[in-house]
Amino acid sequence: MSSISDGMAGDASRRLDVGVASTPLDLAVGLAWAGTDAAGETGISLRLFRPSPAVAVGRDQAVAREVRLPWCRERGVAVRRRPTGGGALWLDPGQWLMALSGPSARFGADPGERLETAGALLVDAVGRLGVAARFVAPNDVEIDGGAKLASVFLGEAGGRSLLLATLLVDFDVAAALSALLVPTEKLTVTGLEHARERVATLTDRLGAPPAPEEIVAALTEAVATRFDLVARPTETPLPSIAAPAASDDWETPLDDGFETLDRTARATFRLRLRLDPGECVREARFATDAAFVPADLAERLAAALIGRASGEWTAAIAAALRPDDVFVGFTPADLVRLAARAAGKATLAAETGLTATATSGVMLAGPSEDALDALARAEMVLVPYCAKPSWCVMRPTPECGQCGRCSVGEAYRLAQDRDLEVTTITNFEHLSETLADMKARGVTSYVGMCCSDFFRKRHVAFREAGMDAVLMDVVGATCYDLNEEHLAYAGRFQAEAALDLDTLEKVMARVPDVGSRSAS
């Protein structure tokens, strides 16, 4: 039986204000509705609705780096920014959104506990529907086998929290992969079929979709039981708003600065800097899919860098952090490292004359953020097979005939001129094996090429290798652009990327001959 009562309000101190939308809502309307004041002294309100088709980007994400904007614009799909942290989501009427608002302390002592509370509510609700699930920190609800059934996100302001959850009744995987710019680790590993295996829906688990009233009752009862409240329907009307699409300036190419990408086990960080003629920061933007409080952290970090030269960036970020900052799934050291990597790239650009685009395409991995020092110690060069032409008989092999008809041959020549080992990486397993062999032989640093999406997705392999790396982005079509990641994973991707030879030559100019290093 539903816990929603149609009677009088009764004891206001135990009232749970519940609103349910009968038709799908634009996300902006739904979130504005969720922000209306709760009735009763509990201050807790629950809003349940199905969303219209949309991409919901996290509060602190760079829209142009997460969403296939042309695809969304062509199909009239709204792109909205949530007031909660976390990553980009595909939303449609096959999902239910739960927006639970109330005093932060009612949901837990810290952001991690509040996310866990929301996760526990979802586990309880789907259990009432007949599906066993578990909460996996920091914000997922999964069934056995690791398939994701729901996610929870947190936004906080003025001592109040908004716990926003998505529950998958059905899920359009193809639309999600088309709308989101880069398929994330949580969604897919080897392509569309594997993506379906990584997502669980109530329809799949139960054999048929539960009736809307059953879902509403399960979610409402889970919340009411958890907080010992009596659910009462709200009379708060839906707001009438015309919300603009979410946007930011990350679509605009930089000609006077650069971007830095870094990845941890739980979060992606991006730092976008514009520099003045004196190489000090004129404008800064910080973006992430991580969760943290307070919400002004991103703006505070960016403001701390204004007017500062690269040698001051790490200290400025460290000084901008406060004792009351709380992070979910990452640490202050991750933010300081991001600034250090940006500083290392700025020094590399100044020493080599790299363009803004080329500097943005440089990715640093390993314990050191000093790109020049890493280049001075480099012992190997790793080249991606996708940069070889599709007609090349050596494309699927670690070798190169140096026929002079593609950029890979030039990479081999630059490496061999310095007595460096060089190999073509033919698939992900080969990369893992090669890195393990290099580490076993005492290699401390290497040079490589890969697309930024590969770096973001396979960050674990680069991090666990424990070696410093200076990696350069490739140009041209990538498997991520074409949604053919599953082919690339197996070494069967047919489209062609290419190496940026200008950047490669400038970077390799800072790598000394191995023989000269031994002599010194």
Quote the pLDDT of residue 442.
96
Task: Look at 21 and 35; give whichever has higher pLDDT.
Answer: 21
Supply the pTM of this predicted model: 0.86
Percent of the chain with pLDDT over 90: 65
Over residues 348-357, the mean pLDDT reads 94
Which range is least confidently modeled, 148-157, 240-249, 386-395, 420-429?
240-249
Please tell me the predicted confidence (pLDDT) of residue 499.
Answer: 92
Please determine, for residue 216, whether its predicted confidence score (pLDDT) is greater than 80.
yes
Strands, E assignment, 255-334: 257-263, 268-275, 281-288, 291-293, 326-328
Q: Is 519 exposed, middle or buried (0-12, 13-18, 19+ CB in 10 A)?
A: exposed
Mean pLDDT (the chain) is 88
- In b/e form, how buried is each residue of 264-286, taking b as 16+ CB within 10 angstroms? bebbbbbbbbbbeeeeebebbbb
Tokens 């800064």 locate to 284
Residue 188 has pLDDT above 50, yes or no: no
Measuring CA to CA, which residue among 163, 112, 157, 151 is closest to residue 328?
A: 112
pLDDT value for 187:
39
pLDDT > 90? residue 469? yes
Q: Indicate if the pLDDT at residue 192 is higher than 50.
A: no
Q: pLDDT tens digits for 5-32?
A: 544 445 666 889 899 999 999 999 999 9
What is the spatial distance between Cα 475 and Cα 463, in angstroms, rounded to a whole number? Answer: 24
Q: Which of 458, 462, 454, 453 is nearest to 435 (CA)?
A: 462
Question: How many angstroms separate the CA atoms of 27 and 492, rounded?
Answer: 39
Is the pLDDT higher at 2 or at 98? 98
Range with the poorest average pLDDT among 105-114, 116-125, 234-243:
234-243
Q: Look-up: residue for tokens 């392999």? A: 461
Residue 13 has a pLDDT of 65
* pLDDT the model gives residue 7: 42
> 45-65: per-residue pLDDT in tens?
999 999 999 999 999 999 999
Residue 512 phi, psi dihedral angles, 5° rounding: -75, 160
pLDDT at 381 over 60: yes
Q: Looking at residue 396, what is its pLDDT?
A: 87
Tell me the domains of the chain and their CATH numbers. 12-233 (3.30.930.10), 253-355 (3.30.390.50), 361-520 (3.40.50)
Q: Is the pLDDT of residue 516 over 90?
A: no
**pLDDT beyond 60 at 194:** no
Give the model's pLDDT for residue 153.
Answer: 95
pLDDT tens, 275-330? 999 899 999 999 999 999 898 999 999 999 999 999 999 999 999 999 989 998 89
Instruction: Say how many CA atoms lie within 13 Å of 437 toward its Cβ.
Output: 11
Q: In the predicted model, is pLDDT for residue 494 greater than 70?
A: no
The whole-number pLDDT of residue 337 equals 96
Average pLDDT (221-244) is: 87
Question: What confidence category does residue 183 fall into, taking pLDDT thresholds of 50, 70 and 90?
Answer: very low
512-518: average pLDDT: 80
Average pLDDT value for residue range 119-123: 97
User: Going along 205-324, which residue ranges are E strands?
Assistant: 230-233, 257-263, 268-275, 281-288, 291-293
Confidence category of residue 444, pLDDT binned at 50, 70, 90: very high
Residue 448 has pLDDT above 50, yes or no: yes
> Residue 443: which of 462, 468, 460, 422 has the closest Cα?
468
